[in-house]
Amino acid sequence: MAADAESVQVIDTRVGFDGFFRVDVHKLRYRKFDGGWSEVVYREVFERGSAAAVLPYDPHTEKLVLIRQFLAGFHFTGRDAFPLHILAGMINPNETPAEAAHREAMEEAGLSLSRQPLERIASYLPSPGGSSEVITVFAACVDASVAGGGHGLAAEHEDIRVEVLSADDAISLLDRGEIEDGPTLVALLWFARHRDRLKREWRIHANRG
């Protein structure tokens, strides 16, 4: 729920940077828990836009489809620049998170997601102290036997490799601390709790289809 003028007063906003992303500089004050107002403060907010992410799961083979590609943030923190992670991308104007998930699955992995509704895992802000980005994460039923190879949009300089893992292996990577991408952490932690239900329900749906 958005804060109203009774709890946050925005005095002024200016654009600090406007390139591939935008940074807005806000002059504001907020209502303190004792009822008074804070001093006037400045807060820069990284306006990245919102994103959708999806974990494709094959309930018949117990396989998950993940990808690797170059991610600058991983490189510049001294990590493996090509981490294993789920499919994800920015939500275009006039596009719902679910529509973005379907599009990204095709662009990044050549996958058509099941016609059954996506299972919404979570919608969250990964860095709310300085970014307005909201990520909506889904799980989707797929046929993992057709997954593999290289994908990505040349116009976005993407070079993506698809990897198919057993559910057990993916959860083991999570438990060993080898998954460091935020949406992938959220998705796999949720999947480990809901795996048996998904396997049961999605197998029934596929058999009826």
Query: What residues have CB less than 8 Å from 93, skipping those under 6 apart?
Result: none
| Contact between 24 and 42 (Cβ < 8 Å) | no
Q: Is 45 helix (H, G, I), strand (E, B) or coil?
A: strand
Query: What residues have CB less than 8 Å from 110, skipping those under 6 apart?
Result: 146, 147, 149, 151, 162
Closest CA to 109 of 145, 143, 150: 150
Burial of 60 per CB tally in 10 Å (0-12, 13-18, 19+):
middle
Q: Which of 156, 158, 163, 180 does the annotation list as catalytic?
A: 156
Residue-by-residue DSSP string for 68-130: E---HHHHTTTS-SS-EE-EEEEPPTT--HHHHHHHHHHHHH-PPPPSSPPEEEEEE-S-TTT
Record the tokens describing residue 36, joined without a space.
Answer: 């008074």
**CA atoms of 121 and 182, how far apart (whole Å):** 13
| Contact between 109 and 54 (Cβ < 8 Å) | no
156 is catalytic: yes
Cβ-based neighbour number of residue 64 at 10 Å: 27
- Residues classed as catalytic: 156
